[in-house]
A and B are shown apart, each in its own frame.
Chain A
Amino acid sequence: MDRRNSIKSIILGSVAGGLAVHGCKPEAEAKAEDAQILEGYSYKYGRTPKEKERIVELEAEQFFNGHELGTIAVLSDLILPADDKFGSATEAGVPDFIEFMAKDIPEMQTTLRGGLMWLDHESNTQFGTEFKSASEDRQKQLLDTIAYPDISVPENELPMEIQFFSLMRNLTLTGYYTSEIGIQDLGYKGNTPNVWDGVPEDVLKQHGVAYEEEWLAKCIDQNRRGIMAEWDENGTLLT
């Protein structure tokens, strides 16, 4: 049953002293409005019309220019190159993701832009070429100076270029591990219908824990999950 059909348009005349007609928008009209907003919109997860508009708005903007995006691509692949089984950060779509996040969280913009400029400036000064065209060895030579933060110093007191690199590493890893490739790489097995029946025996062993009989006796017998629950008057489950 489509619940929307059960929402009634109600004429208030009789109850509300002839004020007006109130009703939900007819479905066709609501759908037409949705369709308008949907132009250029391809996402398929629950969004309110306003939220969809926000995504379309953000995607219509371009924050980084081509040169910056090129540098981001090179940098994110240095942070996470391909290995023998899985693709690199760019193959997982990380630069596009960073472009989107820079607009979604504008507070990151100056650190990101400033950091990219820092890389170019250092590379120009030291090697006479911009970062993305420098040899991998030279790129790494630069990264080695900013990739290992002094953990005894609070993050916001570290030099800007180190903060920048930490942010880039965070965005690269999060972008990668929330992509299809990244989730395969990680091996995460959930987000799919399942019948949870406890930690496998080998895992319990590995970590030196065990289930207690007494505790297990209280837990759901998954063979009986489909049987309708019935209790006696004291709350003891009979089924």
Chain B
Amino acid sequence: MATKILADSGLKVAIVEAGPFFDPKDPELMTQLKWPWESPRRGANTVRPFGDFDSAYGGWDIEGEPYTNSDGSNFKWFRSRMLGGRTNHWGRISLRFGPKDFKHKNEDGLGDNWPIGYEDVKPYYDKVDKLIGVFGTNEGLPNDPDGFFLPPPKPRLHELFYIRGARKSNIPVYPSRMSILTKMINEDRGICFYCAQCSRACMVYADFSAETCLIFPAQKNGGQIDLFLNAMVREVTTNEEGKATGVSYINKEDRKEYKLKGKVVVLAASACSSARILLNSKSAQHPNGLGKSSDIVGKYLHDSTGASRAAFIPDLMNRKISYNEDGVGGMHVYSPWWGDNKKLDFPRGYHIEVWGGMGMPNYGFGFNANEFNKFFGTKVGAYGNVLREDVKKYYGSVIGFGGRGESIAMKDNYCEIDPTKVDEFGIPVLRFNYKWSDHERKQVRHMQDTFEELIHNMGGEALGAKPTKEQDYGISPPGWIIHEVGTTRMGNDPKTSVVNKFQQLHDTDNVFIVDAGPFVSQADKNPTWTILALSWRTSDYIIEQLKQQNI
């Protein structure tokens, strides 16, 4: 987003990207609309963690780029190395934070308030909605604000079942909010043709990816943008006054180090990567790295909580496989947080994501084909043509729920430099220290109870055993939900925060951070729409400050 706004304003921008070029409409790179048999592993996830057709170049582990965990910590770090980063294959769930989300400490005394409020970000959310496009509905909800939405698609069959089941427990359900174009918004981008494959990146640019919707249009606009690809930033360079002069990076192709000069440095490498760059930016003026006068860089790392459950719904058996049910790449309906935490034993909320339907077969399809026979007391197993009937009988009869909740940002959850290790570019790597607290465990217990209630309401049979207390109620390891934020948090006080409310480093006024590092808390909303809005806001501020010759 910063590239688009800064380049549109006439500034000269250099993008330094660790991965290769990517454009989902390039036939050489395309995985969209491929059939499972076009992959020798039929889409199995042995190479790409979300399957062979997913468009992430990267994953939890990247060869040559390790990270570590201290004892008792099990943080998972998902990285993608490609132009556009993880926006090429993200879930496109695009939720604004609400007024309460910026000031949650006022409600429960936990964590910290943001130095800005919803009213500061609202104009930018509005602009992001219009520029990028997001479907959803204006429901007038107090903490899930209205926006400028495109109309949502109609629910699919399993989603109608979900709506009915949720209502029985007074859990509200609304059309989901996803950055997918159900309607034309400009001449450069196509309209969704309902292939359910946003995770493969869209060849007609009907979903949001940073390069297709921001970088390419900025180039087309005549923006002065230089792309440095396969270029791994090591650190921000500084001069005698401690001001940033640019970055140094390693060119992966010749494995040499280069320096690039710039008037302003904008970090958007994802929350943990940007913290790593700051921590590694050591100089005489900044012996402990940049932004280190506060000792907060890397601290307050937090991810969304997550838990899931799936169920077999007998009423969804024996479906007519007579129509194309793919829909958009993700859910058509969802439940924003409905509870009142004052009456519950955990402080923050969560939303429910729903999946199911008659999707395209991929590696794993047909495994345990007639396992559900057990619910009818008939034999599980067998061989022969009876299996064909079983497969069709149960196709599309499973529904799944994911809970995504707000955790409390804590100083004790952090990433730091591991002094004993470097990556293959010689850059010191991150070590994570992260533990869930009872706040999160209790919230996830509530998710599990809710899922069981929903399954019961739908007349379903839960799959697998309910996670126990000893299993921490099935809470995902930190990092697993891939909403890691908070490592360079914003605040008015340089002693307790890294950047100010314009995401400008307190210590070094020509360095800005426009990823999720500056998040003080992340709400029960996925982070990307807020990253985009704040990045735009910061870009406007940079343009203004340059005009006034303040930086």
Contact = CB atoms under 8 A, between A and B. Distances in A.
B37 A189 contact: no
B361 A178 contact: yes
Nearest to B230: A24
Interface string A11-22: 010011101101
Contacts of A40: none
Interface string A50-79: 010011001100000000000000000011
A105 B150 contact: no
A198 B154 contact: yes
Contact of B363 (A7, A16, A174): A174
B183 A175 contact: no
Contacts of A224: 183
A185 interface: yes
Contact of B326 (A3, A186, A191): A191
A122 B59 CA distance: 44
A71 to B, nearest CB: 15
B388 interface: yes
B385 A83 contact: yes
- Which bracket fits the contact residues of A? 35 or more
Interface stretch (B39-47, B345-353, B541-549): B39-47
A195 B191 CA distance: 10
Interface string B135-153: 1011000000011111111
A188 B384 contact: no
Interface stretch (B157-165, B413-421, B521-529): B157-165
Given A180-B37, A211-B160, A225-B191, A220 B315 contact: no
A85 B538 CA distance: 62
A45 B368 CA distance: 28
A200 B33 CA distance: 24
Contact of B322 (A80, A97, A189, A215): A189
A177 B382 contact: no
Nearest to A76: B383
Contacts of B495: none
Given A143-B383, A206-B320, A226-B184, A46 B55 contact: yes
Given A45-B31, A186-B361, A192-B33, A235 B259 contact: no
Contact of A195 (B42, B194, B228, B380): B194
A190 B366 CA distance: 18
Contacts of A192: 33, 195, 324
B109 interface: no
Contacts of B422: none
B29 interface: yes
A8 to B, nearest CB: 6
B180 to A, nearest CB: 11
A199 B157 contact: yes
Contact of A190 (B259, B322, B325): B325
B28 A191 contact: no
SS of B interface (majority): loop
A44 B220 CA distance: 29
Interface centre among B137, B183, B385, by most chain A C-beta atoms within 10 angstroms, is B183
B194 A194 contact: yes
Nearest to B57: A48
A236 interface: yes
A157 interface: no
Given A186-B395, A190-B196, A229 B184 contact: yes
Interface string A221-237: 10011111101001111
Contact of A203 (B21, B149, B155, B320): B320
A194 B326 contact: yes
B533 to A, nearest CB: 15
A229 B185 contact: yes
Contacts of A220: 135, 150-154, 182-183
Contacts of A185: 388
Interface residues of B, number: 117
Contacts of B254: 20
Contacts of B216: 3
A96 to B, nearest CB: 9
A190 B42 contact: no
Interface centre among A149, A166, A188, A206, by most chain B C-beta atoms within 10 angstroms, is A188
B376 to A, nearest CB: 12
Interface in B1-25: 20-21, 23
A203 B219 contact: no
Nearest to B146: A235
Given A83-B385, A174-B42, A195-B194, A7 B229 contact: yes
Contacts of A186: 321, 361, 391-392, 395
Contacts of B44: 101, 104-105
Contacts of A101: 41, 44
B366 A79 contact: no
Interface in A195-218: 195-200, 202-204, 206-211, 215-216, 218
B38 interface: yes
Given A79-B387, A83-B388, A195-B193, A105 B46 contact: yes
B319 interface: yes
A228 B30 contact: no
A180 B258 CA distance: 50
Contacts of A46: 28-31, 55
Nearest to A179: B37
Interface string B194-214: 111100000000000000000
- Ranked nearest first, the 4 interchain pairs of A and B with the lowest CB-CB distance are A173-B366, A178-B36, A148-B381, A190-B326
30 contacts: A6-B227, A7-B227, A7-B229, A22-B228, A43-B39, A80-B384, A97-B40, A104-B46, A178-B37, A187-B392, A188-B358, A189-B323, A199-B323, A200-B320, A203-B323, A207-B319, A208-B315, A211-B154, A215-B163, A218-B175, A219-B151, A224-B183, A225-B184, A226-B184, A226-B191, A228-B184, A229-B183, A235-B129, A237-B150, A239-B183
Given A54-B47, A204-B160, 5 more contacts: A20-B258, A45-B38, A180-B35, A191-B326, A209-B160
